[in-house]
Amino acid sequence: MTEPLLRRLRARGERLVVGAVPWVAPVYRAMPHVDDVIEFPFQHGGLQFKARRSIARQVEGQFDTAYVLPNSLKSALLPFLANIPKRVGYLGEARVGLLTHRLKNPVNKPPMVAFYSALSGDRDGLADDQPRLHLPEEHIISALAAQGLQRGSYYVFAPGAEYGPAKRWPAIHYTELARSLDAPVLLLGSGKEGALCEEIAGADPKQVVNLAGKTSLLDAFALIAAARAAVSNDSGLMHVAAAFGVPQVAVFGSSSPRHTPPLNDKAQVVWLKDDAAYQPPLDCAPCFERECPLGHTRCLVDITPERVAALLRG
């Protein structure tokens, strides 16, 4: 969702170096307009002040402007310690003294592309604000060869969602969907999603191949880029499929496609909140919770595999 911002900055002549944690860095390496990527050795949680100060000393004097995309205090700390003259970001959590140019936090949840793109300060949008990723063709060919696949001969499912179970379509629905399709299915995700993917694949191992945690992130991108179509929850890999322009069906539950839609002309979204025929209405959605507060997760359970299969067949 940050790619259109970077494209705006490149279009006005800025040289782009992105700092990212290792599991996000490959996304930026698939953006041709990014000149370099610095991998941050940070873990989830904790300020990790010494590590941030060490990197700040290494990059001090190299940059004129820092665009701080995450809204946390610790994200704004490194540019401050590096004495980067212009530091742009949202007010976030108590960052007044760390940023030189501050945007007010939106009252409601705006579309994320617009949220990030506003940091550029440009009033006029790009002609094309859809996020886009690119991989060299030889990388895609190599990833396909490693799995014995041909372009367009398989589907990709991304059944995980790190945020929590209230964003995950049930595993049994993914299994039933896979059984109804006329081509093999690759399951992609992180190692943390290996057990979930094994549950889906175990019911039909000839039709479904579990690759969760078994490929590099860039190879997973290549397999998505060459797929016939993708099915996912509202997750990072959903946005990857959108950025490669792959036909896709995105299943939404506790979150909202008004906030984080797959920006892809070939994308189809299933969200029962927007389905007037679904009764009784889902007054609880979107709750944006990690787990269903009501314990039923109707927003996901009631989306049938048949409905998603019909959308895939178009």
The enclosing H or E element of 90 equals strand 86-90
Band (pLDDT 50/70/90 cuts) for residue 94 is: confident
Report the percent of the chain where pLDDT is more than 90. 82
Identify the CATH homologous superfamily for domain 3-120.
Glycogen Phosphorylase B; (3.40.50.2000)
Residue pLDDT, tens place only, 95-121:
889 999 999 988 888 889 989 999 999
Q: How far apart are the C-alpha atoms of 52 and 66, rounded to whole Å?
A: 15
CA dihedral 220, 39, 117, 79 (to 10 degrees): 170
Show me where the domains of the chain are located: 3-120, 152-313
**Phi/psi at 310 (nearest 5 deg)?**
-65, -40
Residue pLDDT, tens place only, 8-57:
999 999 999 999 999 899 999 999 999 999 999 987 777 899 999 999 99
Which class is domain 152-313?
alpha beta
Q: What is the mean pLDDT of residues 179-185?
A: 95
Band (pLDDT 50/70/90 cuts) for residue 204 is: confident
Q: Do residues 190 and 213 touch, judged by C-beta distance below 8 A?
A: yes
Q: Do residues 137 and 244 touch, judged by C-beta distance below 8 A?
A: no
* Closest-CA residue to 208 (of 178, 237, 232, 234): 178
Task: Check the CA dihedral 91-93-97-98 and report its sign.
Answer: negative
State the DSSP code for 193. Answer: G
Residue pLDDT, tens place only, 216-254:
999 999 999 999 999 999 999 999 999 999 999 999 999
Instruction: Answer yes or no: is pLDDT of 124 > 70.
Output: no
- pLDDT at residue 46, rounded to an integer: 77
Q: What's the mean per-residue pLDDT of the chain?
A: 93
Note whether 3-120 and 152-313 share their fold.
yes
- pLDDT at residue 127, rounded to an integer: 55
